[in-house]
């Protein structure tokens, strides 16, 4: 989670919502990392998770990431949950809950919805949640 927090801080430093993600291989090595770039790239899909998944698929030359763990500072949204499922990510670890748009247990629970035609990843929630949430709260407080 420390590496994901570092990515989130990079996002905040560039004026983006501070969300960071890291994709780890089966032996824990970092395959890819990303942070939000929606504003700079003028890309509504520029979420940390999407960017990390894209980079990992290119690095591994494989779109299936079933033996990988995605670590992200904020609960994935619906778009990111869909991408996680499409990539067949085996485990998702996240920090802060997203009570407005979360799709891993707060508002929706797409990642664990067995009705979808994808393998269900293991989900570990609330890792360093206070620290992840504080980064977001500080970011938005500064903009008010």
What integer is the mean pLDDT of 45-64?
A: 98
Residue 27: pLDDT above 90?
yes
Q: Is 83 left (phi over 0), alpha (psi -120 to 50) or beta?
A: alpha
Helix (H) or strand (E) holding 55: helix 48-60
Q: How many CB atoms lie within 10 A of CB 65?
A: 24
Round to whole Å and give the CA distance between 121 and 112.
7
Q: Which of the four pLDDT bands, split at 50, 70 and 90, describes residue 18?
A: very high
The separation between CA 140 and the C-alpha centre of its own chain, rounded to angstroms, equals 19
68-105 residue pLDDT tens:
999 999 999 999 999 999 999 999 999 999 999 999 99
Closest listed residue to residue 87, CA positions, set 110, 56, 44 = 56
77 is in an annotated binding site: yes
68 is in an annotated binding site: no
pLDDT for residue 126: 98
Mean pLDDT, the chain, whole residue set: 97
80 is in an annotated binding site: yes
pLDDT for residue 102: 98
pLDDT for residue 144: 82
Residue 55: pLDDT above 90?
yes
Round to whole Å and give the CA distance between 110 and 35.
22
CATH topology of domain 1-142: Cytidine Deaminase; domain 2 (3.40.140)
Q: Per-domain residue ranges for the chain?
A: 1-142
Q: Which residues are catalytic?
A: 49
Residue 118: pLDDT above 90?
no
At which residue do the structure tokens 């700079």 appear? 40
Round to whole Å and give the CA distance between 34 and 51.
5
């Amino acid at each position: 989670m420390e590496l994901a927090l570092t990515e989130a801080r990079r996002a905040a430093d560039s004026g983006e919502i501070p969300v960071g993600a890291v994709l780890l291989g089966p032996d824990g090595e970092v395959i890819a990392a990303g942070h939000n770039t929606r504003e700079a790239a003028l890309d509504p899909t520029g979420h940390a998770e999407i960017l990390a998944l894209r980079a990992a698929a290119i690095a591994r030359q494989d779109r299936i990431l079933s033996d990988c763990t995605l670590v992200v500072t904020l609960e994935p949204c619906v778009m990111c949950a869909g991408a996680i499922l499409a990539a067949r990510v085996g485990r998702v670890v996240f920090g802060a809950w997203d009570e407005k748009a979360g799709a891993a247990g707060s508002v929706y629970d797409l990642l664990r919805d067995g009705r979808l035609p994808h393998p269900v990843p293991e989900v570990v929630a609330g890792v360093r949640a206070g620290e992840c949430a504080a980064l977001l709260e500080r970011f938005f407080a500064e903009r008010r």
